[in-house]
Amino acid sequence: MPFTIRPAHNDDADLLPEVERSAAQAFLQSEVLHWIASQDVLSVAQHRAFIAGSGTWVLVDADNRPQGFLCGQACGDDWHIVELSVAQAAQGQGHGRRLITTASTWARANGFTGLTLTTFTCVPWNAPFYTRLGFERLDPQLCSEFLQRQLAAEQAHGLSDRCAMRLDL
């Protein structure tokens, strides 16, 4: 089945929480992180805000139904990836890599010097995946104030073993 990537439309927002919930089912493989599969995801309102700010791309199937997405926001000279999710049925086919490529091409064309994100250090489809794409792990003390606040907020919500990463554009 062919998949394409396009900027998200406002109507997509209603479907993106379902995609994120599906993607989170991968955490059921982890004895320590299985609880993430049942946690809250970004709301429709949050998705609409990212879409309004031109900060979301969707991976759509032949029926134009979202099967993945990447959303983010400007953070100084960098563009921060807030969430990258690919529905469970479409995982392992290079779609996450394609979404990152789309975002990095857009960010570079719009004058950003890097992509940042926060992620789990030991989950294979998190930090190791991003490292293969060229992201580098950042020393927490050298992170921007935004990334330090982000990591602290994640820690306060029970997310440990997290790191910030950056891809130089």
> Using H for helix, E for strand and C for coil, what is the string for 113-143?
CEEEEEEECCCCCCHHHHHHCCCEECCHHHC
Domain holding 94: CATH number? 3.40.630.30
pTM: 0.93
Q: What is the pLDDT of residues 87-138, one digit of tens each?
A: 999 999 999 999 999 999 999 999 999 999 999 998 888 999 999 999 999 9
If one counts the domains in the chain, the total is 1
The whole-number pLDDT of residue 81 equals 97
Give the domain extent around 95. Answer: 4-168
DSSP 39: S
| pLDDT surpassing 80 at residue 1 | no
Cα dihedral angle (49, 52, 56, 59), rounded to 10 degrees?
110
Confidence (pLDDT) at 5: 98
Length of the chain: 169
Least reliable range by pLDDT among 15-19, 64-68, 119-123: 119-123
